[in-house]
Amino acid sequence: MSLLAAARDIRDKAYAPYSNFKVGVALRSTSGEVFVGVNVENAAYPEGTCAEAGAIAAMIAAGHTRIAEVAVIADAPVPVQPCGGCRQKLREFADDDVVVTMANLNGVEAQTTVGALLPGAFSKDQLET
């Protein structure tokens, strides 16, 4: 199954009763394993979490720290763009050249890279004094 197909399948399980905007993410770690996530909203709106955060958490819990590829899908008029916070979260575990496939349910796809999504990212290098 392709990464995008995995993202599309898991998207159905998203919990998004407030926005009705379900997002599915699948990422492949450099180990070759695929991890999926969905957005999980909350009655206290800011407590919701994005699909990217869920997939990253699953990868980390499995003991992996490097992302090789990402796919994100939602029912949007254009391929869904990872939000700003998710760009930063992905950048923590992915090199600039990691490909991010963005899609909608109508089969429209676009590809970019983590570096293009977040040029000049704040990273742990900058924490070193």
Contact positions vs ligand THU (CB under 6 A): 16, 19, 21, 23, 39, 41, 48, 50-52, 82-83, 86
Burial (0-12, 13-18, 19+ Cβ within 10 Å), 92: middle
Q: Which of 33, 52, 69, 109 is catalytic?
A: 52
Identify which of residues 46 and 63 has a Cβ nearer to ligand THU in the complex: 46
| Helix orientation angle between 51-61 and 84-93, rounded to the nearest 10 degrees | 20
Q: How far is the CB of 10 from ligand THU (least distance, A)?
A: 12
Q: How far is the CB of 22 from ligand THU (least distance, A)?
A: 8
Identify which of residues 50 and 68 has a Cβ nearer to ligand THU in the complex: 50
Q: How far is CA 39 from the centre of its chain?
A: 10
In the three-class reduction of DSSP (H, G, I as helix; E, B as strand; rest coil), residue 49 is classed as strand
Contact indicator for 59, 27 with CB cutoff of 8 Å: yes
92 is catalytic: no
Q: Active-site residues: which are they?
A: 52
